[in-house]
Structure 1
Amino acid sequence: MKKGIIFSSIIALIAISCTSQKTMVDTEISTEKYTADWESLQQYEVPEWYKDLKFGIYFHWGPYSVPAYENEWYSRWMYVDGHLINKHHKETYGALDTFGYKDFIPMFKAEKFDAEVWADLFVKAGAQFAGPIAEHADGFAMWDSKITQWDAKDMGPKIDVVGAMEKAIKSRGLKFITTYHRHWLYAWYPTWDENTDASNPLYEGLYGPKVPEGTFVMANKPTNPLPDAAFNQEWLDRLTELTTKYDPDIVWFYNKMDIIGEKYRKQFLADFYNRGLEKGKEVVVTYKFEDLAVGSAVLDLERSRMSEKKEFTWLTDDSIDWKAWSNIQNPEYKSTNRLIDFLVDVVSKNGAVLLNITPTAGGEIPNQVQERLLQMGDWLAINGEAIYGTRPWKIYGEGPAEVVEGHLSEHKNPDNTADDIRFTTKGDILYATVLDWPQEEIHIRAMGKQHRKIKSIQLLGNPEKISWEQHATELIIQPSDAKIGDYAFTYKIKFY
């Protein structure tokens, strides 16, 4: 069944789970250990600290950042005859049996990488959680591993990237996230093809086990044959090493994890949750599609969002570049306005945003990326109280913009206007964020006297008195003469 078709049924299942399996109340950290079965794992409760987090940053960075061409799947497409990247690779670097993906590793020097500088930028951007891709589909681990020599500490930059980022991020009070994509390594490279270096058993530690031609498929098709026990066990062993050594607060999984044996997935969840219990620490795992059982972790979307408010907590990850997830030769960065409106819309529907950025192979964050992050941080410095620690209101908002749901659907969604308003709450305060500066008075239908009598309205970032009238069926606000910034702006509404 195609992933786009099952999207709605997954959402429905999660909604049912939220009402039938658990109550949405504050609880103390459970001390009852989990067992490696879905019935036990579905007793998991999303921590309140995670519900308070709304904005995180991670990054695609590895040997694929060296060619910096087209997208982060360079390591896959370079071996596919006829692909644009395959043609580019042969013309630029030579034949695949003499210059394979492994040969980019010594070129991945990260000579300007500074975890402290990166973490400072994340803080200035207003992020509440951050971290690296620990291992992408290319099979190159970004931590100091005892399981493999194909890692960033032993090769390439000779830096424990995960360790450096863990220290820098945690020391600034942010939650630490690591992401894991290793299941995609299975059949990622043409290990069956004697005309490439991927078939050489000397490099099996990077390229993975030998598989029959045609084994690789996308996530919406069945994999045959499935990975064997050895691949499954190494998937779990690397993951256990990563999470034990660096103690992330959040572990994020890419899709297609369903090719890993169910017992290995369940075992990781039980072990990770139980290690948290032993430390008195609440932890979070995210997943895509149906890769884990509903209710056992937090659902994550990719380049997409919900069209309506959800009762369950969810996450979406998207890249700052419309075209790619890693640094490339011709990026198409999203505007700051688009990024902020996306964040506001997602939060109003009980979600959070994990934004991907695109460092260079040398370890620098491109200036245009930095500019957007800093502009987001400036906006959050004023409007953050309408984002951080909030909960959704009875409706997510008002306005004409209609969101298209579905995997990778974000490019189908329109830009917002001043008629689009999003709501969040904190205690007895309601925030109404208008997604563009209006040319005329603002009408909020949900805020008529039929709701509650309004006591005061404040425009965040502007101490001046606001002119407003609450009628039976709507609230009318006269916009301030002084425009507050270039992006969305927020009204803080208090009631009697």
Structure 2
Amino acid sequence: MQTPLLPAQNMAFIGRCFNLLIWFLVSIYVIVPLIVYLYPGILTSVVFFNLYYCPHFSRNFSDFEHYGLSPNSTRNFYLANSLGHKLGVWQLESEPCSTQTEFEAKLLDGRPVLLYYHGNALNRGGHHMVDLYKRLLKENDVHILALDYRGYGDSEGLLETEIDAVDDAEVLFNYVTKSGVKRLYLWGHSLGTGVVSHLAKRLSDSGRLNPIAGLVLESPFNNIRDGVRMHHFSLPYRLLPYFEPVFVDGVGKCGIRFDSDRNLARLSSPVPVLIIHAQDDRVVPIELGRQLRDYLNTARGGADISAVRFLELPANKGYKHTRAVDAPEVYVEFQRLIETTRASLVKNPEMRLTKLLTVASFAFCLASLCQCRYTPDWASLDSRPLPAWYDQSKIGIFIHWGVFSVPSYHSEWFWWDWQGTDKQKDVVNFMKQNYPPGFTYADFAPKFKATFFNPDQWAELFDSAGAKYVVFTSKHHEGYCNWDTAYSFNWNSKQVGPNRDLVADLAAAIRKRPGLRFGLYHSLYEWFNPLYQNDQRSQFKTRDFVLSKTMPELYELVNRFKPDVVWSDGDWDAPAEYWNSTGFLAWLYNDSPVNDSVVTNDRWGKGVMCNHGGYYTCQDRYNPGILQPHKWENCMTLDKQSWGYRRDARLADYLTPQELLSTLATTISCGGNLLVNVGPTADGTIDPVMEERLRQLGSWLRTNGEAVYNSTPWSRQNDTATSGVWYTQRAGSVYAFLLTWPANDRLLLGSVAMATNVTLLGHPKRPAFSATPKGLSVALPSLDGTGLRWAWVLRLDGVKPPKSAERPRIFEPMPNREFDRL
């Protein structure tokens, strides 16, 4: 029987364990970073995973049977790089060959040739790679050549920089093209995707890109810096202050960048790209593949945007980082790439792209039986019919919520009014009187807790209000993102403040309600983002902010949350060409997951508002009072002074129910939709006054909704004899909105000559009516005991307008309209 430890022995044992723990933590968090800081070259070995080179441990790469390959259709040979290092290469064929000459002749038989570049582990004989070769030979009938960089497999030398890897990759490309091959595909896996992207950029710069028919990037990162940030080995260090300068910047100091996003965006012609990524990849998280896709979509824009395809493999299949080989859809997509580009090989790369897009567009048209795809110009984009659901809905809810909800003073433009170029004295004084010196706007973010945010309660309220769609502020001009985004580090709701994805939570709750659609507001610009400010100083000749921040966010929002409304804002300083608005909209209408249902507004660049886009907003709180030739929206606020919540708002600052219903009637009678804004508190609650207004609106609509939903403007928008009467029509009936109850219960409708039936909606008694020379005279029943209030609606059947009534005037949009700040 073991003798129990004495108390002193127990303490000594605990002390030793504690000392070991301290030494372990010191080693991990002090010694290792210090060594890396002093000797950053160590990171080279970490990236290339080649701390040592032992070629004698490598198997015989000519022993094909060991790898499960056919010795009659596989060739092992060697090429020399510029330093004379021997690089091992495999050539794999689907048919037997007996001599080197036969193998080389096979490459010229017209079938596509695939050059494979592996990642930083294993070599050309790795298990998953061999499985991939076999499936490609069987499913896609291609020639395959796989190379080991120096220091991998039986290749001599050692990789020390990114350039070394690209130099070796180019050796194989030169060998194949000098053999006469005219059609190549480059396939990279993991780190190999960085090699492939850099090689393509080098070939583009030297005018040798023409043979490259397509790129396949399996488990890619967008750039090595983000790859380091997201790698699971970096998890213990990510939140430490020295993580960026020591580890992230340290890799760059070693001459390793692998800027795949920038390299591919700057090709002389946009080669088609197939990105393959598994959702459960823990080595290179799928977020990096999505960022690469979004960056390329933003940078390319226009019609060639469809040349970037993204195959997302489901997590429940267990493909992870290396087993995409097991996914049948990989070979289907690769064959699609081959077939799409088969007829596009011509000497001029620009002609090749043109033919590619022509074939792709033709195929799309046949598949969808439509006339054509939308091209990235306003003439084409403006020709897209507005999805019918939007006009039928009539009423939506707008939500302004962000860090500005914490100070909740003045308006949602609080930061700008405090520290922008147009400071507001009352805001500056508010900060001096209530916050200590040195307090920054970023210090408000941790106080944005959303403690009582219940998205299901919000959804119930909006549904009860009679709204048919909800537009939520994903990001306002302050730049704070209300979702878990890869493009706003430590300035989003997942990492600071609520510690939750607010967009995802609300989207899920809204979609539980069958009658509600979900949309997103997104500000193109950010007041104080240095990238935007630099672009602004260049007079928008540079586009770094667009390429790396705002447009990737939009692609991420659409692909992830699939909104039915994309409500753009913050566009007014720069032209649409800077934002690449037409390129984004072409993708949104053609290839996005919501291409059939999505609606957009008109805020896509300086001079665009009220002239181009989906529906027009023209200005905040836009309500022209006359019929418009284009579908429009009146975005307005319950708080007359602010879109965001204000703690000091008084009851008189809120619209009354009568004012809200008056705005609704005047809006829809002229063809508009009403977007009613609420500003929640920082805690995530909706002010009781705002909630009351919404529920009052809903109760009124339950009685009078037939005059609103699915209605269209009548031939007369308002009455010629009685003010405060507005008209809509639906299913053969005309509806008259009475914003003021007439004196003596007598109403004269000058725009109506005759009707066969008149009904006061929600009232048990039918009004008496008669035709007069001045119009239809209606004797209204008493409202006592009915509960009808605020505004009233008459349904008129069998209506005939008077012959002398004027036709409605048509509003012509005017340029450079002033607008309120939103």
TM-score by length of 2: 0.49
89 and 30 in structure 1: CA distance in 2 versus 1, 3 angstrom threshold: farther
Aligned residue identity for 2:727: F
Correspondence for 1:445: 750
Query: Residues 461-472 of structure 1 correspond to what in structure 2 (within 5 A)?
Result: 461-472=762-773
Q: Please, which of 477, 487, 492 is the counterpart of residue 778 of structure 2?
A: 477
Hey, what's the Cα distance between the residues in 2 that align with 1:31 and 1:101? Answer: 51
Correspondence for 1:164: 505
Aligned residue identity for 1:87: N
SS at match of 1:371: helix
Hey, what's the Cα distance between the residues in 2 that align with 1:468 and 1:107? Answer: 61
Correspondence for 2:427: 85
- Maintained 8 Å contact 2:750/2:776: yes
Larger relative CO (CA 8 A, sep 6+): 1 or 2?
A: 1
Larger radius of gyration: 2
Deviation of 1:47 (Å) = 1.7
Correspondence for 2:791: 488
Query: Residues 49-448 of structure 1 correspond to what in structure 2 (within 5 A)?
Result: 49-80=389-420, 83-95=425-437, 98-149=438-489, 150-173=491-514, 174-183=516-525, 185=526, 188-189=527-528, 207-209=529-531, 211=533, 225-226=539-540, 228-233=542-547, 234-257=549-572, 259=574, 261-262=576-577, 264-275=580-591, 281-288=596-603, 290-291=607-608, 294-300=611-617, 301-331=619-649, 332-398=653-719, 419-440=723-744, 441-448=746-753
Aligned residue identity for 1:435: L
- Maintained 8 Å contact 2:602/2:611: no
Hey, what's the Cα distance between the residues in 2 that align with 1:210 and 1:53? Answer: 36
Of 357-366 and 434-443, the range deviating more from structure 2: 434-443
444 and 59 in structure 1: CA distance in 2 versus 1, 3 angstrom threshold: same
Hey, what's the Cα distance between the residues in 2 that align with 1:352 and 1:338? Answer: 16
Deviation of 1:388 (Å) = 0.7
Deviation of 1:154 (Å) = 1.7
- Maintained 8 Å contact 1:182/1:235: yes
Hey, what's the Cα distance between the residues in 2 that align with 1:465 and 1:261? Answer: 55
Deviation of 1:296 (Å) = 3.6
Question: Which is richer in helix?
Answer: 2
Q: Deviations over 1:412-453 (max 9, x none)?
A: xxxxxx73111101121111111122223100011114xxxx
- Maintained 8 Å contact 1:43/1:295: no
SS at match of 1:446: coil
Hey, what's the Cα distance between the residues in 2 that align with 1:154 and 1:249? Answer: 27
Percent of aligned pairs with the same amino acid: 27
- Maintained 8 Å contact 1:61/1:359: yes
Q: What is the CA RMSD across the aligned residues, in angstroms?
A: 2.3
Correspondence for 1:19: none
- Maintained 8 Å contact 1:314/1:352: yes
Structure 1: gaps (5+ residues): 1-27, 190-206, 217-222, 401-417
Structure 2: gaps (5+ residues): 1-367, 800-822
SS at match of 2:714: coil
257 and 175 in structure 1: CA distance in 2 versus 1, 3 angstrom threshold: farther
Aligned residue identity for 1:494: D
TM-score by length of 1: 0.79
Deviation of 1:82 (Å) = 6.3
- Maintained 8 Å contact 1:343/1:353: yes
Number of residue pairs the alignment of both structures matches: 417
- Maintained 8 Å contact 2:523/2:568: yes
Hey, what's the Cα distance between the residues in 2 that align with 1:311 and 1:29? Answer: 29
Hey, what's the Cα distance between the residues in 1 that align with 2:558 and 2:458? Answer: 22
Deviation of 1:90 (Å) = 2.5
- Maintained 8 Å contact 2:522/2:566: yes
Deviation of 1:292 (Å) = 5.8
- Maintained 8 Å contact 1:177/1:248: yes
Hey, what's the Cα distance between the residues in 2 that align with 1:182 and 1:135? Answer: 9
Deviation of 1:314 (Å) = 0.6
- Maintained 8 Å contact 1:258/1:291: no
Hey, what's the Cα distance between the residues in 1 that align with 2:369 and 2:513? Answer: 24
Aligned residue identity for 2:629: E
- Maintained 8 Å contact 2:418/2:424: no
Aligned residue identity for 2:750: R
- Maintained 8 Å contact 1:444/1:475: yes
Deviation of 1:281 (Å) = 2.5
Hey, what's the Cα distance between the residues in 2 that align with 1:74 and 1:227? Answer: 29
SS at match of 2:531: coil
